[in-house]
Structure 1
Amino acid sequence: MPRALSPSQVEEFRERLCAAAEHLFAEHGPEAVTMRQLAAELGVSPMTPYRYFKDKDDILAAVRASGFARFADAMEAAYHSESDPVAVSEAVGRAYVRFALEQSDAYRLMFDLSQPNEADYPELVAASGRARAMMVAQAQGLIDSGQAKGDPEVIAHILWANLHGGLVLQLAGKLSPRIDPSALRRAAFQTLLKGLARDD
């Protein structure tokens, strides 16, 4: 019979397993990674992961929830670091980009795939909701200050789609060598801001 584990021991192993899974899932795709491979990565028996997670989908949801939580933490810290609405949006955007570039495995798993049963994982729903709420909050700040006109969710998605699209090209090495990604993001934000401030 397996020995009883303390809550801290359970949490520590879950975090180790999720860290290993994040890299393997991002490198090979979740469908190509087995529970046996995850166990081998940590040097434990093939059945050990089942003491902590129901199945591989459960692990994937935990990995993605952890990514979204770290992502939301970064954007929330950036949001509260400035007071001017445009500076707030720029700070949130920089935090978004920094996370995507420094934690690219997590970023890919968060946005390059979805789980058909995401609603079954409350932690994943809550963490992704926090990130989405932060994108909407910075858009609302632009509206409240007169820098943008329109629906905050629509504006958030316009800014989000622009950031994400540029990052996908950058991470895939598809940007022209002549293009400085940071300069491109600044120019795109200024161009979008001009359009979002128009009445028509």
Structure 2
Amino acid sequence: MQASTPKNTVQQSYHHGNLRQALLEKAQEQLTEVGPDKLSLRALARDVGVSQTAPYRHFADKTDLLAALSATGFRRLRDALMAEVEGLESAVDKLHISGKTYILFAQNNAELYRLMFGPMIPPDFDHRELQEAGNEAVTAIVGIIESGIQQGQFRADDPFVLANSAWGMVHGLASLLIDNRFSCTERPFLEEDVDKALRVVSAGLSC
């Protein structure tokens, strides 16, 4: 009598409701390896070990998958920002550290970062999870600005305007760095220049 063959571990996980997470984790790997254009639900299904129709139980199409993957990116970014500023009292210090954390996140997760802010997901795409995750990341920055206003370190202005201004400057710097756009300048952008640039950001918000 032949011994029964154990069920595929991933398929067992799928029946227990873990397929969505398994697909997202594999999608992150594929995103890093081949970029968003070549990422496909069929390839994910094959790599995870489920039928080609199984992923559609969790994602309507590729755009839906990319939106969910972007949402995980925003949550990771928010968690990193909050962890790095925990215990700091000065809002200026918090903004400086969060800026460095943001840039480091972009450098360490370049493909995910480009997906989060790039054209693969239309701005008007209705995806509640992505919208909530993005708002939570922005709220972390707004909270720092609000505390800075209360401490008298930042000008008394609309905290969302100040947060978006700081975000725009840091985001632009991060994008230029990961795309190596400073290589065309006469003077290369050095590691210590990040600190100087972030001090300019803080100075622009000061009273």
How does the TM-score come out when normalised to structure 1?
0.81
Cα distance change, pair 81–34 in 1 and its aligned pair in 2 (3 A): same
Q: Which residue of 1 aligns with 2:89?
A: 83
Tell me the SS of whatever aligns to 1:71. helix
Structure of higher CA gyration radius: 2
Alignment partner for residue 157 of structure 1, among 160, 164, 170? Answer: 164
Greater RCO structure (CA 8 Å; 6+ sep): 2
Taking structure 2 as the reference length, the TM-score comes to 0.79
Q: What corresponds to 1:189 in structure 2?
A: 198
Alignment of 1:87-98 (within 5 A): 87-98=93-104
| Aligned residue among 57, 70, 88 for 2:76 | 70
In the TM superposition, what is the alpha-carbon distance from 1:8 to its structure 2 partner?
7.9
CA distance, structure 1, for counterparts of residue 165 and residue 108 of structure 2 = 23
2:139 counterpart letter in structure 1? A
Distance in 1, matches of 2:17 and 2:78, equals: 24
Report the AA paired with residue 157 of structure 1: N
Counterpart for residue 58 of structure 1: 64
Structure 1 CA distance for aligned equivalents of residues 122 and 174 of structure 2? 22
Greater shift, 53-62 or 18-27, is seen at 18-27
The gaps in structure 2 that reach 5 residues or longer are 1-10
State the shift of 1:132 in Å: 0.7
Q: How far does residue 108 in structure 1 lie from its aligned partner after superposition?
A: 1.4
Structure 1 residue 36, shift from structure 2 partner: 2.1
Give the aligned partner of residue 111 of structure 1: 117
Residue 99 of structure 2 contacts residue 198 of structure 2 at CA under 8 Å; is this kept in 1?
Answer: no
Q: Is the 8 A contact 1:86 1:142 kept in 2?
A: yes
Fraction of identical pairs, as percent? 30
Give the structure 2 partner of residue 136 of structure 1: 142
Unaligned runs of at least 5 residues, structure 1: none
**Aligned equivalents of 2:81, 2:49: Cα separation in 1:** 35
